[in-house]
Structure 1
Amino acid sequence: MDALTLDIAHLLAGSLVLVSFMLLYQDRLYALLNVYALHAVVLALSVAWQAYAQDAPHLYITAAIALVFKAIIIPVALHRMIKQLGIHREIETVVGIGPTMLLGIGLVALSMVVILRVTPEADPLAREDLAFALAVVLLGLLMMVTRRNVVSQVVGFMSLENGLVLAATGAKGMPFVVEISVAFSILIAFIVIGIFLFRIRERFDSVDVHALDRFRGERR
């Protein structure tokens, strides 16, 4: 594998980490969903390049699934849910954006140290991409624990799953049956999340988890 192929693969995987930081920075729901769509587009490009670099045509299907479901269908559907539910457009955070970004930088550094030290003999393509993938997963977890709005937590979960897909494709790809099962599991999870959002909004008149905690305290 030539150096240019490796450089482009690492550039795309690194771009996914950069877009994860953009997700952490957003404080409005519509902007968050637009950035998530970009996140999915970068993932699709990265997986498609992995298909080319590894000579694995089945990964093109994974890239197409990511592009159609994650970059188009899910963001559009979430936009419509926000409008129908009348959700507050600003995202409340547990901690400020500044400390969150600094913590995110620390998690990325931790990912690089852990992966690069434990995989010194691994294939160069898989080694760096696994480090980037772990960083995306940790940043998705960080987003889930630092956001109070349920929709933003859902986006954090889906960005985390994007990191898992990147890790699987970087490690010489996934079997075709796994790709299909992942696509269907994402679709089913999204449908269930949508139902819960409507039910929560109908019952509590809010999707802010902090408000739900207050309600639970009042019931006690």
Structure 2
Amino acid sequence: MDGYAFDIAHLLSGSLVLVSFMMIYQDRIYALLNTFAMQAVVLALAVAWQAFIQGAPHLYATAAIALVFKAMIVPWALHRMVARMGIQRQVETVTGVVPTMLAGMGLVALSILLMLQLTAAAESALAREDLAFALSVILLGMLMMVTRRNAVTQVVGFMSLENGLILAAAGAQGMPLVVEISVAFSVLIAMIVIGVFLFRIRERFDSVDVETMGEFRGDRP
């Protein structure tokens, strides 16, 4: 059972990293939102499996929160925002897809090497390697935020980064239930604030391209 549990946990955590690469590769906003929903489903499965193998029932609440809010409500809300604001469906990037993917592979390699060295004294090999995968997801989310010019795609990058944090907390022997509940409410509040923020940007600048906003401020010649 230990080897079986180890393999399934690694499969789910590794799948989360793979879906993060799929998000970086997407060049359409709707495809990106659908891929983010897929990432949230994989996260829910990974956390539910951690709840099973750790004997931590409260982690099932985390999995349910990820499934309902991250995989359903957040993508649906972002779909509606994109449709109502008439945002350009093409994902605009700072650099090309190939350099971004290469940078992502470098970040994943760095995450694995760094985390396995820092947690060499940890008792659980499963926790060590799950933390390495979680750090990879976090860094890939940050990479998406840096390399995307559209405010909506940067929001998705931030949410992906948060998914990595949840995976790290679940792999490190779980988190308190009060933290899970606060995360759910924070996601709802963040979506309300993000919605207002995006509509105000669209109304003021007639675009959600951060480069356009920089030109408006005079930051670019």
Normalising by structure 2, what TM-score? 0.97
Q: Which residue of 2 aligns with 1:138?
A: 139
Aligned to 2:6: 6
Q: Distance in 1 between matches of 2:21 and 2:43?
A: 14
After TM superposition, give the deviation of residue 121 of structure 1 in Å.
2.5
Matching residue of 1:53: 53
1:55-134 matched pairs, under 5 angstroms: 55-122=55-122, 123-134=124-135
After TM superposition, the runs of 4+ consecutive aligned structure 1 residues lying more than 4 A away are: none
CA distance in 1, matches of 2:63, 2:51: 9
Q: Evaluate the alpha carbon distance shift between residue 188 and residue 133 of structure 1 in structure 2; reply closer, same or farther with a 3 A threshold.
A: same
Seq. identity, %: 72
Amino acid at match of 1:30: Y
Kindly state the Cα deviation for residue 214 of structure 1 after the two structures are TM-superposed.
0.8
CA distance in 1, matches of 2:219, 2:112: 45
- Per-residue displacement from partner, 1:85-132 (whole Å, max 9, x unpaired)? 000000110000000000000000000000111111211111000000
Kindly indicate whether the alpha-carbon contact (under 8 Å) linking 2:148 and 2:154 is maintained by their aligned counterparts in 1. yes
Q: Which amino acid aligns with 2:115?
A: I
The amino acid that maps onto 2:167 is L
State the Cα RMSD in Å. Answer: 1.3
Partners of 1:22 and 1:54 lie apart in 2 by 29
Gaps of 5+ in 2: none
Provide the C-alpha distance between the structure 2 equivalents of 1:115 and 1:141, rounded to a whole number of angstroms: 17
Q: Which runs of 5+ in 1 are unaligned?
A: none
Output one character per residue of 1:57-98: Cα deviation in whole Å (capped at 9) or x when no partner.
Answer: 000000000000000000011101111000000011000000
SS at match of 2:7: helix
- Counterpart Cα distance in 2 of 1:119 and 1:203: 48
Report the alpha carbon displacement of residue 186 of structure 1 after superposing the two structures with TM.
1.2
Check if 1:149 corresponds to 2:150. Answer: yes
Secondary structure of 1:93's counterpart equals coil
Aligned amino acid, residue 84 of structure 1: R
